[in-house]
Structure 1
Amino acid sequence: MAIRNSIAPIRPFPKTSFPALRAALLFAAASASIAGPLAAQDSSPQAGIDDLIPDSAVENPEDWARDNGPPIEEDDSAVSVEPDAPLADLPDLAVDWPDDLDLQPIEPLEPDDSIQLAVPDLPDLATDKNLAVERLSDEVALAFPATDQAFPVREDFIDRFEALSTIEQLSGSDDNIAQLAARARSDQELLDEILRAYGYYDGQVIRTVGGISPGEERAASEEATVRFNIIPGQRYVYDAIDLGDLTTAPDADELRAAFEIFSGDFVLTDKIVEERIDLDIALGETGYPFAAINEPELVIDHRAVTGSLTLPVSPNGKYVFGGVVSSKPGFLSGKHLAMIARFEEGDVYQRSLELDLRRAITATGLVSSITITPKEVTPPTADTPGTVNLEVDLTEAPLRTVAGSIGYGSEEGFRLEASWEHRNFFPPEGSLKVRGIVGTQEQLAGVTFRKNNFRGRDRVLTVDAYASTVDSDAFDARTIALVGTFEKTSTLLFQKPLSWSVGLEAVATDERNRVIGGIARPRQTYLVGAIPLFAQIDTSDSLLNPTEGFRLAGRFSPEISRSSGIESFYLRGQIDASIYQSFTDKVVLAGRTRLASNVGTRFFNIAPSRRLYAGGGGSVRGYGYQSIGPKNDLGEPTGGSSLVELSLEARVQTGFFDGALSVVPFVDAASVSIEQVPDFRFIKYGVGVGVRYETGFGPIRVDVGVPLNPDPDDSPVAVYVSLGQAF
């Protein structure tokens, strides 16, 4: 932003001829030499020029000088030179010059009249009724006009100075007077700049270095202080605002309202920058993809105490969206990109919607770079906006991914999962994934087809087929399943306040309770069909590490089960709620509850793998996975028809590893009942402490839990390691 001063022309001296000027100077010199010091003591009228210079001196000045001047004594030592003598015969003239004379070069010093050294007889500015002193530290004090009306921006002025001051940044350092004076000079320039930023172009800053005025109180131990007296002067206002060609835009009045600087407002350079951004946003959001705003220019008129602002604006026509054109139609077609865009053809162009499309393409994970360029299709007319297509230039990212994860729980043992995925096996955005799990209690092999942005933005179709075996404390199950899900879900780039899913599930499972002490329990085959439904409201500020907000989710699955000739209909329901609250920048209190029930049939008609259990790293820490709940005569967990869980933990950030390490004390509780309504007959408590190490993709969690009321078979300590918070 250019700021220029408007200065009045300087009047030249009147033209004077050289002979006349020379005569006047000779006259003045003659008068001074004749009058001498006596003239200053003589109170009689001064003699005229005619009285001082007689006519004879004018007619023949040489004779008059010889006759009236002092006598000339003859000097025998004088050298006589004949006029006709040759130059070679002239006598030698020599001047002795000392050989050892070494003259140092003279370095001129520039005076600095703005600096004053505090001395005992300085005026007591601190007690002046027109000044109020604000001591910022032991080293710096500012003196302002005493009334707020004289300097209304005082508080903001002080905040800005403290943030930028050289002296304030080095407060407490052991500086001498010279160092303090050098920093004070820099801060004085800073104060001058800040005054101009607030529209005080005639302001003055007077600094005093080395002490403070005698009338100001200070502690006896305080050392030298720099004090700046701020004399702001009159504040300048705008007299004219020129926004270039903005008036040619169809929405000129609305756009002008977005630039909230008007004639008569106080000059404030920060506001010029802010309002320029607001105007640029308004142009981009109301249909002007080619709008341009050049650098502002502020011209200051010191005589009128005003400023004239010029901001060259070129709207360059209003447009609506056309189509989306892809540079790789076989990879991500323009039709597919237009489907995931949040605008339709004919909608008024908005820059934010163009940026949103860029984010949506990035979220696919299929591209490494994107360039979106608006291209004019039809130009605008006086009555009709033009049309622009968005041309999308894509660079493919590597499409194949090999991933793995590992986890450990002292009760569940190890769990290793690996997968291979091609993320665009069925273009556009159709992925194929092969995965496997090997663990102490679980083994699985599965194939998953996933279609992102299926028939709408952020909608996902998933078909998953897998075979698994699970050998837990509660049951032994061999399962084959086919599950299809259509969902709208949150992602790390697009966390949504509402997500949902609906699915179909077909399961064949052969199960039995655990084999304990060599006693084989009978196996039972279940054929299950289900329609799982899910919905969640999420106001939290992060998917992996929330610190504020809440989540409320519901899962409901109407199911039909057939086993040993018995057909059962029932509803599996579950509600999860969690809340997160920050009390300081380093402490987050998190709480969670879960309520679940299987309603509609007898407890033993439901397959063991589909009953309700508690215990483990995502439930009650300190107990084994699915170990909490009713047990049979052999000590086997049988699961239940109702469940209640509660958890509370404090996530306290430490100063270790630059704040990446947190300590988390927690307490958990749960009750599982055979009845469809909880009776709290089998309630368990666990407490413990964990640590979290924050990485770029989420916290690594290590929890150590202790059961407070364990059963004989429960371990005294349980350890859990995973990625992400417990809830």
Structure 2
Amino acid sequence: MASAPLAAQDSEAPPALEDLIPDSAVENPEDWAGQGTEGEEASDNNDAPDPDTPIELPEGIDMPWPSDIEIDDVEPLQAEEEIEFADLDLGRAQLDLEEAETVRLNGNLVLGFPQTEPPFSERGDFLLRYEALSTIENLQDEDASIAQLVARAREDEELLGNLLRVYGYYDGQVIRSIGALQPGDEAASETPTVRFDVIPGNRYRFGAIDLGNLDQAPDYEDLRASFGITSGDFLQSDTIVQEQFALDRRLGETGYAFAAINEPSLLIDHEREEGDLTLEVEPGGKYVFGEVVSSDPKFLSGKHLGTIARFEPGETYQRSLSMDLRRAVTATGLVSSVSVTPREVTPPQGNQPGVVDMDVELERAKLRTISGAIGYGSEEGIRVQASWEHRNLFPPEGLLRVRGIIGTREQLAGVTFRRNNFGGRDQVLTIDAYASAQDTVAYDANTVAVTGSYERLSTLLFQKPLSWSVGALVLASDERNRVIGGVPRPRQTYLVGAVFGRATIDTTDSLLDPTQGFRVTGFLAPSTARTAGDQFYYLPNQVDASYYQSVSSGVIAAGRVRYSSIIGAPLFAIAPSRRLYAGGGASVRGYGYQAIGPKNDFGEPTGGRSLVEASVEARIETGFFDGAVSVVPFFDLGAVSIEETPDFRFVKYGAGVGLRYDTGFGPIRVDVGVPLNPDPDDAPVGVYVSLGQAF
């Protein structure tokens, strides 16, 4: 059989991997590895080249061994004494890390300030802000661990960098280090601590300032002066916000009803170390007020809303007066929502301002209310009170209220008509008619009365430096002193007519909880009374004054005095219900209501024709419930005299302590008073609860 011819083999081809591995390596790889390469004996692995023996060079290369190289002596350079090296001012902050001033904020946190020049000009305010925002500052020392500090240190490092930029230090650096306090430290321990070295660098300044189209306003100079940033001022982002607000307020208060200001833009140039500020301002034109237009004229007419407003047509538009109108409409209690929007009626022309009407969009609230209360008092007994009212039965703001009281010592039925904002803002017309029967510790009176008054009120929303009221009263009352032990007293009928006036000057900072200022109130009520077949004329009068002063942090000192008298008629000619009495929570604490003053043979208070009262107290914050609770020690005195001028024969003193809880609306008052010179019938202690301070 013929065999197939073999293919020709390339003499240049590289050998295959199998050809390079001999059979002996496969059969016994360990022996083969120790044989060395073919043609050589295994070398000793410990043989090493001698470092002192020159290496044989390949043919064609001739290089001397280093020991054979000769180097000529080099002459050293001589310093030239005439050369002076100047200190280069590269504009960088000068640092002294070793001698850095440090501030320890707590056991875990230290701030270092190594920069000496330029000085850190905003350092104090910077520290206060950092303390308020720091996550490490809020970490309790005993709860701190390295892991917690590391996590919070990253946040605080970023916070410090942001705060530096707020003050215009755009090249500032913060160096963070974490470890244990070293021995010798003022708070030395093994407590882990974080140290931040704050290097503010140079503070940037404002460069170019672009206020958009503000220069097109006719009173540009005045408006520009209200924006208190100029080129070259130190840069601070807070200042931008404050001055933007100041400019916006100035625009809104000088007639620019439709002014608009866009968000500010600050371009930082690190080479110039300046920031260019752009604030796009579109002032629009100037306007004056037009009419007030109501969206529901049958409910609250535009004419009535115009009497509430504190502006007249033709006056320069002021945004604050627009907002004030909105608050006043809300304060009526007749609306659930309200908005006040200026609407252009006539555009500005040349130097003449335009006119804007004020559109009042409102929604009606629920107008009917039924209310009631049940209570008990040691001086009043059981008392049940209820009322129904419609707050806009006679638009605009004509209220009708029907009320009644059933109690062990008082019964009453009455009806009241009241018109709010009558003839002006917070001016109220009231007509009230009632029939009542009262049995107090001093008298038993059955009365029918009609009272009318017109007053300017000071309210919680709009406290006024001057408030006043005038009015008239007509009543018929059948009265006697109380019956004690079954001994009857003769009843006496009084027909009384009076006109009255009251005025209050108020400089305090709150109606319910004043901390500074004073109040003075004067009252006069020329009266006439017919009783027992005779006509009598007399003049009730009263002056109240109170003063409030902060004497230290969290301590308010308060004091009051009252003087009252009835001039011109004997005591029997004055109805017992209209005489002067003292005692109780709003008078001399520690004594019962009407318990102070002259008494008859049966121990009944008869009332008097003159009265003097005085009180002092200290309102001391305790810190409990976030400062809402205060302790109030107090001292009161009072005297009632039968004569027209006080004779101080029946002076009583009371003292005690109270608690106040600040609700945000006003304090809840609980006072416990003790009579210091009681009569035999006086209780050993008096407790009083009410809303608001005692005076």
Decide whether aligned partners of structure 1 residues 299 and 703 sit closer, same or farther in structure 2, where only a CA change above 3 A counts. Answer: closer
Report Cα offsets for 1:588-625 as digits up to 9, x if no partner: 33322211111122222222221111122222223232
Distance 1:268 1:312 in 2: 19
- 1:418 and 2:386 are equivalent in the alignment: yes
* Corresponding residue for residue 82 of structure 1: 9
**What is the CA distance between 1:264 and its match in structure 2?**
1.0
Decide whether aligned partners of structure 1 residues 230 and 527 sit closer, same or farther in structure 2, where only a CA change above 3 A counts. Answer: same
* Corresponding residue for residue 434 of structure 2: 466
Q: Secondary structure at the match of 1:362?
A: helix
Are the equivalent residues in 2 in contact too, given 1:341–1:457 (CA < 8 A)? yes
**1:544 aligned to 502, 512, 515, which one?**
512
Decide whether aligned partners of structure 1 residues 689 and 193 sit closer, same or farther in structure 2, where only a CA change above 3 A counts. Answer: closer
Are the equivalent residues in 1 in contact too, given 2:590–2:674 (CA < 8 A)? yes
**What is the CA distance between 1:488 and its match in structure 2?**
0.3
Q: Secondary structure at the match of 2:371?
A: strand
- 1:525 and 2:452 are equivalent in the alignment: no
**What is the CA distance between 1:522 and its match in structure 2?**
1.6
* Corresponding residue for residue 589 of structure 1: 557
Q: Secondary structure at the match of 2:136?
A: helix
**What is the CA distance between 1:658 and its match in structure 2?**
5.2
Across the two proteins, how many residue pairs are aligned to each other?
616
* Corresponding residue for residue 409 of structure 1: 377
Q: Secondary structure at the match of 1:225?
A: strand
Which stretch of the first structure deviates more once superposed, 371-380 or 515-524? 515-524
Decide whether aligned partners of structure 1 residues 299 and 515 sit closer, same or farther in structure 2, where only a CA change above 3 A counts. Answer: same
* Corresponding residue for residue 239 of structure 1: 207
- 1:167 and 2:94 are equivalent in the alignment: no
Q: Secondary structure at the match of 2:503?
A: strand
* Corresponding residue for residue 183 of structure 1: 152
* Corresponding residue for residue 104 of structure 2: 135
Are the equivalent residues in 1 in contact too, given 2:442–2:605 (CA < 8 A)? yes
**What is the CA distance between 1:213 and its match in structure 2?**
9.1
Distance 2:598 2:499 in 1: 28
Amino acid at match of 2:9: E
Amino acid at match of 2:325: L
**Superposition map of 1:24-423 within 5 A:** 82-83=9-10, 127-128=98-99, 131-145=100-114, 147=116, 149-210=118-179, 218-221=186-189, 223-423=191-391
**What is the CA distance between 1:567 and its match in structure 2?**
1.3
Decide whether aligned partners of structure 1 residues 240 and 406 sit closer, same or farther in structure 2, where only a CA change above 3 A counts. Answer: same
**What is the CA distance between 1:405 and its match in structure 2?**
3.7
- 1:446 and 2:373 are equivalent in the alignment: no
* Corresponding residue for residue 670 of structure 1: 638
- 1:631 and 2:558 are equivalent in the alignment: no
Distance 1:81 1:356 in 2: 111
**What is the CA distance between 1:378 and its match in structure 2?**
1.2
Decide whether aligned partners of structure 1 residues 149 and 81 sit closer, same or farther in structure 2, where only a CA change above 3 A counts. Answer: farther
Are the equivalent residues in 2 in contact too, given 1:408–1:722 (CA < 8 A)? no
Amino acid at match of 1:207: R
Are the equivalent residues in 1 in contact too, given 2:120–2:200 (CA < 8 A)? yes
Amino acid at match of 2:540: R
**What is the CA distance between 1:371 and its match in structure 2?**
1.4
Decide whether aligned partners of structure 1 residues 408 and 174 sit closer, same or farther in structure 2, where only a CA change above 3 A counts. Answer: closer
Decide whether aligned partners of structure 1 residues 386 and 486 sit closer, same or farther in structure 2, where only a CA change above 3 A counts. Answer: same
* Corresponding residue for residue 510 of structure 1: 478
Distance 1:412 1:658 in 2: 36
Amino acid at match of 2:163: I
**Superposition map of 1:568-579 within 5 A:** 568-579=536-547
Distance 1:707 1:190 in 2: 60
**What is the CA distance between 1:198 and its match in structure 2?**
1.6
**What is the CA distance between 1:285 and its match in structure 2?**
0.8
**What is the CA distance between 1:690 and its match in structure 2?**
3.6
TM-score if structure 2 supplies the norm length? 0.83
Paired-residue identity, %: 64
**What is the CA distance between 1:511 and its match in structure 2?**
1.4
Decide whether aligned partners of structure 1 residues 176 and 473 sit closer, same or farther in structure 2, where only a CA change above 3 A counts. Answer: closer
Distance 1:146 1:305 in 2: 18
Distance 2:176 2:590 in 1: 68
**1:609 aligned to 560, 574, 577, which one?**
577
Decide whether aligned partners of structure 1 residues 709 and 139 sit closer, same or farther in structure 2, where only a CA change above 3 A counts. Answer: closer
Decide whether aligned partners of structure 1 residues 224 and 716 sit closer, same or farther in structure 2, where only a CA change above 3 A counts. Answer: closer
**What is the CA distance between 1:126 and its match in structure 2?**
5.1
Are the equivalent residues in 1 in contact too, given 2:308–2:421 (CA < 8 A)? yes
Are the equivalent residues in 1 in contact too, given 2:181–2:189 (CA < 8 A)? no
Distance 2:8 2:346 in 1: 103
* Corresponding residue for residue 100 of structure 1: none
Report Cα offsets for 1:86-134 as digits up to 9, x if no partner: 99x9878999xxxxxxxxxxxxxxxxxxxxxxxxxxxx95544xx4333
Distance 1:211 1:270 in 2: 36
How well do the aligned residues superpose, as a CA RMSD in angstroms?
2.8
Decide whether aligned partners of structure 1 residues 330 and 244 sit closer, same or farther in structure 2, where only a CA change above 3 A counts. Answer: same
Are the equivalent residues in 2 in contact too, given 1:321–1:349 (CA < 8 A)? yes
* Corresponding residue for residue 685 of structure 1: 653
Decide whether aligned partners of structure 1 residues 684 and 362 sit closer, same or farther in structure 2, where only a CA change above 3 A counts. Answer: same
Distance 2:19 2:166 in 1: 69
Are the equivalent residues in 2 in contact too, given 1:538–1:550 (CA < 8 A)? yes
**What is the CA distance between 1:176 and its match in structure 2?**
4.3
Distance 1:154 1:657 in 2: 33
**Superposition map of 1:620-659 within 5 A:** 620-654=588-622, 659=627
TM-score if structure 1 supplies the norm length? 0.79
Are the equivalent residues in 1 in contact too, given 2:523–2:543 (CA < 8 A)? yes
Amino acid at match of 2:309: A
Q: Secondary structure at the match of 1:609?
A: helix
Distance 1:203 1:478 in 2: 83
Which stretch of the first structure deviates more once superposed, 635-644 or 186-195? 186-195
Amino acid at match of 1:542: S
Distance 1:701 1:165 in 2: 38
Decide whether aligned partners of structure 1 residues 632 and 169 sit closer, same or farther in structure 2, where only a CA change above 3 A counts. Answer: closer
Q: Secondary structure at the match of 1:167?
A: coil
* Corresponding residue for residue 716 of structure 1: 684
Higher normalized contact order (CA 8 Å, seq sep 6+, divided by chain length): 1
Amino acid at match of 2:217: A
Distance 1:301 1:345 in 2: 50
Are the equivalent residues in 1 in contact too, given 2:181–2:191 (CA < 8 A)? no
Report Cα offsets for 1:284-343 as digits up to 9, x if no partner: 111112111111111111222222111111112221111111110000001111111001
Unaligned runs of 5+ in 2: 1-6, 22-94
Which stretch of the first structure deviates more once superposed, 395-404 or 359-368? 395-404
Which stretch of the first structure deviates more once superposed, 425-434 or 185-194? 185-194
Decide whether aligned partners of structure 1 residues 401 and 675 sit closer, same or farther in structure 2, where only a CA change above 3 A counts. Answer: same
Which stretch of the first structure deviates more once superposed, 623-632 or 708-717? 708-717
Decide whether aligned partners of structure 1 residues 724 and 177 sit closer, same or farther in structure 2, where only a CA change above 3 A counts. Answer: closer
Distance 2:109 2:627 in 1: 33
Unaligned runs of 5+ in 1: 1-79, 96-123
Which stretch of the first structure deviates more once superposed, 580-589 or 276-285? 580-589
**Superposition map of 1:488-499 within 5 A:** 488-499=456-467
Amino acid at match of 2:164: L
**What is the CA distance between 1:489 and its match in structure 2?**
0.8
Are the equivalent residues in 2 in contact too, given 1:409–1:720 (CA < 8 A)? no
Q: Secondary structure at the match of 1:353?
A: helix
Distance 1:697 1:416 in 2: 26
Q: Secondary structure at the match of 2:315?
A: coil
Q: Secondary structure at the match of 2:106?
A: coil
Distance 2:229 2:626 in 1: 44
